[in-house]
Structure 1
Amino acid sequence: MKLMKKMTLAALLFASTSAAAQVVEGPKVNWSLSFFGNPRALSAGMEGIIEEVKNRTEGNFNIQIFYGGQLSDSRENLDGLKLNAFEGAAICNFYHPGKNPAWMVFSLPFLPLGDPKVDKYVRAKMFEHPAIVADMAAWNAIPYLTGLLPQYEILGRGEAPTDLSDWEGLRVRAGGGLGDAMEALGATKQTLPSGETSTAFQRGAIDAAAFPFTYAHVSFGISEEADWFTSNLAPGTSECGWILNKTAYEALPTQYQTLLMDLREMGMDIEQAAYAEQDAINLPIFRKNLEEIVYSEEQIAKFREIAGQPVWDAWIAENSAKFDAQGVFDAIWDYAEEAQNQ
């Protein structure tokens, strides 16, 4: 909670220096957003935006996040938006792959993501891609703020998988293409909601869990159950971002719409600062209490060989009849190249 308060303050310092005087006048509006879990680095960006919106509108546009699935189960936030049950929500694409098939591209392994500058550019551009927009339109929603999730790493219990063959038979919480990559190593993928993973560890239902490294492992209590962690597997990431109810957004006065969109850059900066701050705290603790697995360059190359291109090709083939899967996949690489050349 202290981190969230600190990041909210950072949001005000970031945006209010010149913007506070620019009051945005408008009617009284109250919004509710559905979020799974407690306040953490993933929610820090939206929390900062909410505080700045309140500040800039002098309290006329009030947005409240309801944590812990108070408004909806994590797998049903899209349904809630379609029913106009609330004005916005956070989603994780792999919680409901059939509901957001194009968004599953973000969970493919070994995409050119991981560098903060590249991530901001690529994900912001992808949130405007026709296929990504169409996924949300089917649920009366629009993409708003990417979660900018860091690369995943894996924490687990029992004997550490220091060789790639050691993953054979391990039950790993990992969704989407990342889960497919783990299956290529012989593991069994599990797609548990984040909040259920620690309990599954305690009950012996899973052996390892892939989460954004390092903040999510701590947020969901995984590091308290684990014996070891990977630090350079970097198999991929996913998209747990914020989306808005289309009906509610279009009903806003134009000045409120503009304000929300103008604050996305600030929200992304806050998210990345929150992740970096958590890494500085968590990584030394991990190294003190857990066994660190560092794979050789040869092992990483082998992993990419068996779980990279084959998983990409399978995803494109599986989805080509639903949308321009090849185009969506290529767009990420094209945007990454653009970001690197800027």
Structure 2
Amino acid sequence: MDRRSFLTKAAIGGAGAAAATTLAAPVIAQTAPKVTWRLTSSFPKSLDTIFGAAEVLSKRMSEATDGNFQIQVFPAGELVPGLQAADEVSAGNIEACHTVGYYYWGKDPSWAVAAAVPFSLSARGINAWHYHGGGIDLYNEFLADKNIFALPGGNTGVQMGGWFRKEINTVADMQGLKMRVGGFAGKIMERLGVVPQQIAGGDIYPALEKGTIDASEWVGPYDDEKLGFYKVAPYYYYPGWWEGGPTVHFMFGKKAYEALPPAYQALLRSVCQGVDANMLQLYDFKNPTAIKSLVANGAQLRPFSPEILSACFDAANAVYAEMEASNPAFAKLWGSIKAFRSENYTWAQIAEYNYDTFMMMQQNAGKL
């Protein structure tokens, strides 16, 4: 074949390919219909790590569908109060929310199990359970009659135990302690003499400053630093045993989710898993700097004593036994986590624990 003949045929072939692409476009468009959802968050914009996860979901869904799948994100309070986000999705008033299941534990404690309950799993452990231990399916089985389909949408990692105006060394020191702590943790702490308080985030600082409360839990170093708690309650305790690896969920209206084309459903599941991982990675990146800054500004780190942790662990197990005996849905979810929890910590204490412990020793010795 001579050069002129080759170029002529290549040009014809190129034009044909371009025409084929043009003809195929409407077919592609048909598989990516226009969808617009609203998503209400349980979090304010100021918590960029948590609230920002919903914005990441929105951005990635739009990019992956050439702008055809739009999710409008609203912060807590703009459409509905943050603690009513799941209610609005369940009622079909809005297509999606970004929230934490334990906010709704008062309706049924089963809501909390797949998010975080005291002495459950670490972030890695709970994610293993969600994605490979049947956790996502079990939670959605519970949520099915509530018109909700949920997927993990973030994790903070183990949280801190909170800010205290005075040192807490023994169980006796907890008697009469007024602490801003809700959900399951509050129920457990009540058994040890703590008086749980329900206070909105913006009201915590003045309550600590005036002595209206004695302590407050929040999240961890990066988020806590913004609120300045160290100025009025300098003792910063750890770990937050009630949230060893709390999962934040994207909750979608079941009918709205099932109405999506299969390709959109698959994409949504994939993007949610990416956002889930991204939040934990973000906290792991930001918290190291924040904890150093807090200490430099006067925060005094304190571990909960073994006595306090053991008493809380025993109290939690007593509460769980009561709930398992009276609530089949709770028993099914918690039973699944318990079965995996034992296996998870058997493995975690072998390679991972020993490697991390050795490296921590090197860091403390100034060798890193």
| TM-score, with structure 1 as normaliser | 0.80
- Aligned residue in 2 for 1:32: 38
Deviations 1:269-309 (A, max 9, x none): 2111111122122101221223424337xx32x22332213
- C-alpha displacement of 1:252: 1.2
SS of match in other structure, 1:285: helix
| Pick aligned residue for 2:104 from 81, 96, 103 | 96
- Aligned residue in 2 for 1:159: 166
Any conservation in 2 of the 1:95–1:193 contact (CA below 8 Å)? no
My pick for the range that moved more, 232-241 or 205-214, is: 232-241
- C-alpha displacement of 1:319: 5.0
| Pick aligned residue for 2:313 from 308, 312, 322 | 308
- Aligned residue in 2 for 1:187: 194
Which structure ranks higher in relative contact order (CA pairs < 8 Å, sequence separation ≥ 6)? 1
- Aligned residue in 1 for 2:95: 87
Q: Distance in 2 between matches of 1:54 and 1:338?
A: 40
Is 1:171 equivalent to 2:178 in the alignment?
A: yes
| TM-score, with structure 2 as normaliser | 0.75
Q: How many equivalent pairs are there? A: 314
| Pick aligned residue for 1:67 from 71, 75, 79 | 75
The change in CA–CA distance for 1:45 and 1:136 in structure 2 (over 3 A counts) is: same
Any conservation in 1 of the 2:171–2:311 contact (CA below 8 Å)? no
Bigger radius of gyration, 1 or 2? 2
Any conservation in 2 of the 1:215–1:278 contact (CA below 8 Å)? yes
The change in CA–CA distance for 1:194 and 1:312 in structure 2 (over 3 A counts) is: farther
Report the residue type matching 1:201 in the other structure.
L
- Aligned residue in 2 for 1:111: 120
The change in CA–CA distance for 1:336 and 1:43 in structure 2 (over 3 A counts) is: farther
The change in CA–CA distance for 1:257 and 1:73 in structure 2 (over 3 A counts) is: same
My pick for the range that moved more, 275-284 or 203-212, is: 203-212
| Pick aligned residue for 1:251 from 225, 246, 259 | 259
Q: Distance in 2 between matches of 1:202 and 1:248?
A: 46
Q: Distance in 1 between matches of 2:226 and 2:100?
A: 16
My pick for the range that moved more, 147-156 or 80-89, is: 147-156
Aligned 1:265-276 pairs, distance under 5 A? 265-276=273-284
My pick for the range that moved more, 202-211 or 277-286, is: 202-211
Deviations 1:217-263 (A, max 9, x none): 23555445432201346443444422111121111111111100112
Q: Distance in 2 between matches of 1:332 and 1:111?
A: 7
Q: Distance in 2 between matches of 1:320 and 1:193?
A: 33
Q: Distance in 2 between matches of 1:170 and 1:219?
A: 24
| Pick aligned residue for 1:317 from 322, 329, 347 | 322
- Aligned residue in 1 for 2:360: none
The change in CA–CA distance for 1:51 and 1:337 in structure 2 (over 3 A counts) is: farther
- Aligned residue in 1 for 2:49: 41
- C-alpha displacement of 1:84: 1.7
Any conservation in 1 of the 2:32–2:68 contact (CA below 8 Å)? yes
Any conservation in 1 of the 2:164–2:214 contact (CA below 8 Å)? yes
Is 1:207 equivalent to 2:230 in the alignment?
A: no
- Aligned residue in 1 for 2:237: 230
Any conservation in 1 of the 2:236–2:299 contact (CA below 8 Å)? yes
Any conservation in 2 of the 1:42–1:147 contact (CA below 8 Å)? yes
SS of match in other structure, 2:303: coil
- Aligned residue in 2 for 1:20: none
- C-alpha displacement of 1:59: 0.5
Any conservation in 1 of the 2:221–2:291 contact (CA below 8 Å)? yes
- Aligned residue in 2 for 1:53: 61
Share of identical aligned residues, percent? 21
- Aligned residue in 2 for 1:19: none
The change in CA–CA distance for 1:196 and 1:249 in structure 2 (over 3 A counts) is: farther
SS of match in other structure, 2:160: strand
Any conservation in 1 of the 2:165–2:215 contact (CA below 8 Å)? no
Q: Distance in 2 between matches of 1:49 and 1:117?
A: 21
- C-alpha displacement of 1:111: 2.0
Report the residue type matching 1:112 in the other structure.
L
Any conservation in 2 of the 1:153–1:235 contact (CA below 8 Å)? no
My pick for the range that moved more, 194-203 or 323-332, is: 194-203
My pick for the range that moved more, 262-271 or 189-198, is: 189-198
SS of match in other structure, 1:34: strand
Any conservation in 1 of the 2:155–2:277 contact (CA below 8 Å)? no
Report the residue type matching 1:227 in the other structure.
P
- C-alpha displacement of 1:104: 2.5
- Aligned residue in 2 for 1:8: none
The change in CA–CA distance for 1:49 and 1:75 in structure 2 (over 3 A counts) is: closer
The change in CA–CA distance for 1:278 and 1:66 in structure 2 (over 3 A counts) is: same
- Aligned residue in 2 for 1:137: 144
- Aligned residue in 2 for 1:6: none
Any conservation in 1 of the 2:175–2:193 contact (CA below 8 Å)? yes
- Aligned residue in 2 for 1:4: none
Bigger proportion of residues as helix = 2
The change in CA–CA distance for 1:210 and 1:249 in structure 2 (over 3 A counts) is: same
Report the residue type matching 1:92 in the other structure.
V
